[in-house]
Amino acid sequence: MDKIFKSTAYLKMVQASGTNPFVKQTLRTFHAVYFEVAKLELRKRGYDTEKCNYSYIEQALDRIRNREDMAEFSIPALIRILKEYTSFLSVSMTNEIKEALVGFRYWLDEPGEINACYFSENHQPLYHSAEYLVGSFFPEAIFPSNGKTGEWHKNHGKVFLTRWMKWRKQFGFSEWYTNYYSEDIIALLGIYYYSGEPQLRNKAKQLIETLLLEIALNTFEGHWIGSHGRTYTEYQVEGKFDSIGPICHLYFDKGPTDGHLADCAIMLASYNFSCPERIITIGKDNSAIFINKERVGLNTNEAKFYKVDPSHFDNIMFFWGNQTFDAKEVIENSRKVIKPSNWMNERINAYYEKYNSYDTYGLSCDKDPDFTALTQANLYTYRTPDYAISCAQDFRKGKLGYQQQPWGACLGGNAYVFTNHPGSNDFVDRPNQIAGNGILPRCVQDKNMVISIYRIPANYTRILETHAYFPQKEFDKVFSNGDWLFGKKGNAYVALYSLMPAHWEKADPALYKEVYKEEWEKHFDKGKPFFYQANGHANVWIAEFGSFTQNGEFNSFCAQFKSNSVKGDTFKITYTSPSHGHVSFGWNEPLIIERKKIVFSGYKRFDNSYVQQDFILPSDCK
């Protein structure tokens, strides 16, 4: 009864949020259909609500009819409406929903041009679960996209969905710590509640619980901490725009709820999904120090040993899911996926030609070149009551980057700190000034310390600089002693060092316009700087964090960092750390702390005080 009350309270909160300017922005998009789900679910539970706003449903249907990118993101809401709320709709609207879903294009091999992304890790389950469920609802209907019956589509969707679920159970989620967990969950909820196959339902439930577990382990104050497999500008700046926050609010009693419309939290509340108590305990844990280690994903050259053979076409969506389209082991099968007229084919053909040319002349080249790649990641989270840090340890150093964010920290609210190599001079591209990296660093973390080494290749002449995101307006105090930059937020502290000389960049209002849209001026706050920039193609950034509990007064924390505590260059740096003692590290050097080599690879699947789970052995793969 308490859980029903809590989910109802959240749905009422959603319905009352229609005047929130950030929700209004969402209501102008196809996501608005989830606003109607909240309203219809409340009516089903016996509460008076406004009549259904058909225009919000039409926005989603138009995107589906036009087969636009992300059209499948709204299908879980429409499936819920068809199964639960048609008594509150007109017959004509119900028929419109059915016609749109039956008429949708559910996979790449169906006729017609491809204008949408079907294949990243989060898109796949949305398409497959939708095809399975719509096919099961209308088994005799002929789907006009390819002339097959609903029963055929149900079986087709099941084959692909079962593969995706097997890979995620065995290897975790390559798009680690991202808002895309929300899309994964809403895809699986419909399977758990509406599939007639107990085994499939159980697999869906287990994966939903795994996603909730990762959220519980790796969030701080109800949102992701800082390391992400994929990220966007708005999530790097404004915590309440992170869709994980409302999920944390729903289950862990923490997390902002005044951001954008939260599709996943609405669906979890509408289904009244029960989060296991053990996960709720983790999510509510505010213990003094909590460390979590995880391993996710596979490197392409190891996949065959884990029985995901790149030469088998049935496995191609594993590699397209982790965006290693152009790896040499994958390239032959990648050429079979997309029709020749699609833009992806030119990228694939170019790499195919390159590999053949290099082989012809006996030359070696990078066999794992994709800038989008989300190969194996060893993830480290250090969380205290006052701040938290997370890092993808030594992830793809020196390779081209995309939306990957190796490390980041949160000191409360929107006081985020991280470093990156900008991928562009704007805030929209992927990567851009704040989201992702042009060239990935060699980055490692041990407890409260992070060291990031950047070596931008000589032929990468676009941007030969790195910077730290350090938004002055979010901190109570910010100052420098000439070598170290310090910040205080509440009881949390940060000390940041750049080997190359660094300076504050004038705040660019374009960032706030991109994040807050028409509300940007309210957040610009007299243009306080947010980038601390260092010129140079090679640099080392060191960050240490502390708190009143760990270090006493802020002045005492700052006084520990000396001007001569760092020596060396990007090939080998030594550092006298107030918290770790003597530290050495380098581009090709191990991390050594007080003469002890730190191992930051080969992690377990989960390794923390709550959950111990080994990473799957090749012999256990099926």
Domain residue spans in the chain? 2-109+123-286, 300-360, 384-565
Q: Work out the percent of the chain whose per-residue pLDDT is above 70.
A: 100
For residues 450-487, one letter each, b for 16 or more C-beta atoms within 10 angstroms of the residue's C-beta and e for the rest, the string is bbbbbbbeeeeeebbbbbbbbbbbbbeebeeeebbbbb
pLDDT at 286: 87
pLDDT tens-digit map of 260-311: 999 999 999 999 999 999 999 999 998 889 999 999 999 999 999 999 999 9
Position 48, amino acid: D
Place of tokens 């939306």: 403
pLDDT tens-digit map of 589-611: 999 999 999 999 999 999 999 99
Q: Which helix (H) or strand (E) holds 252?
A: helix 244-252
Q: Which of 364, 355, 487 has its CA nearest to residue 416? A: 487
**Strand runs labelled E in 136-222:** 142-143, 148-149, 219-220
Give CA–CA dist 394/412, Å, rounded.
Answer: 26
Determine contact, residues 508/502, Cβ cutoff 8 Å: no
pLDDT tens-digit map of 369-402: 999 999 999 999 999 999 999 999 999 999 999 9
Q: Which of 80, 39, 31 has its CA nearest to residue 60? A: 31
Of the pLDDT bands very low, low, confident and very high (cuts 50, 70, 90), residue 1 is: very low
With vertex at residue 464, the alpha carbon angle to CA 459 and CA 467, rounded to the nearest 5 degrees, is 145
Q: Which of 225, 184, 206 has its CA nearest to residue 276? A: 206
Q: Which of 345, 312, 327, 320 has its CA nearest to residue 119? A: 320
Residues 438-454 have a mean pLDDT of 98
pLDDT tens-digit map of 28-81: 999 999 999 999 999 999 999 988 999 999 999 999 999 999 999 999 999 999
